[in-house]
Amino acid sequence: MAGEQVVRAEGIQKSFERRIVLNDLSLSVAQGQLYGLAGSNGAGKTTLIRTLCGILRPDKGEAHLLGWRMPSSRVRSQLGYMPQDFAVYEDLTVLQNLEFFGGLYELRRSQIRGRADELLDLVQLSDRKKQRVGTLSGGMRRRVSLAISLLHKPRLIFLDEPTAGVDPKLRRTLWNDFNRLASEDVTLIVTTHMVEEVLRCHVVGFLSAGRLLTEGTPEEILSETQTSNLDDAFIVLQERGEAKR
């Protein structure tokens, strides 16, 4: 499964108003991997995703996506990004949102319609296609946002908290689908603050106070921390990290 490195970050440092948010952070993700980035609130997950995507410029270090040093416009058409905010037009319908973003990726109208049907089926919003997004619940808006990020069949997808506010049944469906996409050689980096969720990932990174506490398969992390679940493993690693500092 492990192919070429499609994400490579080295020595990333990022501060906001003198507060260090990412501290000398390095990671790499291979093609077709489902990489779970877990951490508590404020750990730096969103900042890391935004830095990798080229939205933020690191103070130090560099990030490469699909072989291009970021920020680069060359990877945009192959990149999928679902921000933590909904980032959808509330005054447009679900379908109109998909049509607009599909147009930015130069998808033809018929292609967009086809993809919209598939994706709305996936996020269980087929019956809401013509409903204005502003009238949907928070969880539903997040699902619209997820559908938008998958619309153009990107090779590399960053999903920032895609399952927050989503009910357990749908959450399971979504994780199944993330795994399916990874099996099709799509690379996914998924953040979550619900640590146990990343059990379904190929590789897991635990982030705390802007540092990567550990990286490995869930099994490797459980074995290293001598714990039976990832929640406990995270707490052990966090305490170790604090003790070191």
Partner 1 sequence: MKTFAVARNVLRRVINDVRTLALIVILPLFFVLLYGNSFSGSYRDLTIVLVNQDNGLASVRTAEVGRITLDVGLAKAFTDALDREMFDVVEIEDPDEAAARVQEPDVWAALVFPRPFSNAVVNEAVRASGERRVIVDGDTVTLLPSDPIEAPLTRLVIDDGNPLIASAIRGAFNEAFAEVLASQQSSVTAETLLEVEALYGGAIRMLDFTAPGIIGFAMTLITVMLTAMAVVRERTSGTLTRILIAPISAWQVTLGYTLAFSLIGIFQAAELFLASQILFDIRFIGNPGVAALIIILFTVGLQGIATLISTLAKNEAQAMQFVLFLLIPSLMVSGVFWPLETMPPTIRPLSYVSPLTYANSSLRKVMLMGGGVGDIRLELAVLGAFALVMLALSVLSMRRQGYTA
Which residue lies nearer to partner 1 by CB, 83 or 205? 83
Contacts to partner 1 from residues 75-94, by CB under 8 A: 76-77, 79, 81, 83, 85-90
Does residue 194 belong to the site contacting partner 1 (CB under 8 A)? no
Burial grade of 117 (CB within 10 A; 0-12, 13-18, 19 or more): middle
- Alpha carbon 190 to chain centroid, angstroms: 3
Integer Cα distance of 52 and 8 in angstroms: 9
Integer Cα distance of 51 and 62 in angstroms: 9
Number of residues this chain uses to bind partner 1 (CB under 8 A): 23
Give the Cα-Cα-Cα angle 28, 24, 164 (nearest 5 degrees).
65
Does residue 205 belong to the site contacting partner 1 (CB under 8 A)? no
- Shortest separation between residue 87's beta carbon and partner 1, angstroms: 3
Integer Cα distance of 43 and 230 in angstroms: 17
Which residue lies nearer to partner 1 by CB, 85 or 220? 85
Binding test (CB under 8 A) with partner 1, winner from 1, 2, 104, 194: 104
Q: Which stretch binds partner 1 (CB under 8 A): 21-29, 51-59, 114-122, 194-202?
A: 51-59
Integer Cα distance of 58 and 13 in angstroms: 6
Which residue lies nearer to partner 1 by CB, 78 or 214? 78
For the chain, how many residues are written? 245
CB 52 within 8 Å of CB 189: yes
Does residue 148 belong to the site contacting partner 1 (CB under 8 A)? yes
Which residue lies nearer to partner 1 by CB, 73 or 226? 73
- Shortest separation between residue 55's beta carbon and partner 1, angstroms: 5
Task: Give residues in contact with partner 1 (CB under 8 A).
Answer: 53-57, 71, 73, 76-77, 79, 81, 83, 85-90, 101, 104-106, 148
